Amino acid sequence: MKHRALALTLLVAAAGPSLTGCGGAAETVDESYAGSARRAFLLGEEALSDGDYEEAIRHFTFVKNKFAYSKYAAQAELRIADTYFEQEKYIEAIDAYQLFMQAHPSHRDVPYAMFRIGEANFAQIPSDFFLFPPAHEKDQAATTEALRSLQRYVERFPEDANVAKAKEHVRDCRRMLADHELYVARFYLRNERPASARGRLEDVVAKYEELPDRWSEAALLLIRAYVDLDMDAEARALAERLVKAHPDRPEADDARDVLAEIR
C-alpha cells in the first residue's frame, strides 16, 4: 500500500492528468494504456528505491509483458537488470543488460547498459579480504572479462558520462593483471626457473609501461633472468631502456650495476 500511495503522489507532481481538482475533490485516475503503464512502472521504481527487490521485479516484469508497446516497457527491462545488480546478482544483471541492448540497439540507454555490464564484471573481481590470499594471487578470469567489457564501453562511447569512472576501473584491472604476472614470475624465479619467468616478465614489459612501478620491477627481474639465461645482449638493451625511461627509480640503480657487470 505504501508503494501505491507514493506512486500516486508522483503522478500528481509529474506532467499528465491531475489526480485532484481545483476544489480538492479527487478526479479519475488516468486509466489509459499509457497511464496504466506509467503507474505500474512508478510502483516498480519505488519498490527498487526501497530495496524491495522482489516487488520491483514483479512490477517491472508486469510492465514489460502487459505494456510491451509503451515507452515504459524498455525502461522496465533496464530496471530489471538494475534490480539484479542492486542484489549483487551480477550474472543475472549482465544477462539482462545484454538482452536489453539486443532488443533495443538504438536506445538512448545503451551506453548506460554497457557501462553497467562492465561494473558488474568489475564487481566480481576477487577482493583483498585479509583472511584470503591477495587478489593478484587468484585466478584473473573475472579481471580479464571486466577489462574487456569496460574497454569496449570506453571505445564505443568515449564521451559518455560514466567514462571517467570506467577508465579508473580499467587502470585497476590493468594493475591487477600486471601484479598477477609479477607474482607468477617471482614464483618461477624463486624456484630457479628463469626461462619460465621470462615470458611473464616480457608480457609486463610489453603491455604495462603506463604503470611505472610495475614496469620497472618487471624490467629489472627480466634483466636478471636474461643474464641467467646468457642473453647478455637482451639484458643490456633492457637495462639501458630502464635507465633512460626511469632514471630516478631504485630499479634504475640496479640496472646500472648490471650494465657495469656485463659490458
Render pLDDT for 156-167 as a digit per residue (tens, 0 to 9).
Answer: 999 999 999 999
Tell me the three state secondary structure of residue 27: coil
Separation of alpha carbons 201 and 225, rounded Å: 9
What is the DSSP-derived secondary structure letter of residue 104? Answer: -
Given this model, what pLDDT does residue 7 score? 44
Mean pLDDT of 95-121: 97
Average pLDDT of the chain? 88
pTM for the whole structure: 0.80
Residues 46/58, Cβ–Cβ less than 8 Å: no
Given this model, what pLDDT does residue 12 score? 35
Tell me the three state secondary structure of residue 34: helix
Rounded (10°) angle between helices 110-123 and 71-86: 10
Residue spans per domain, the chain: 1-16+29-87
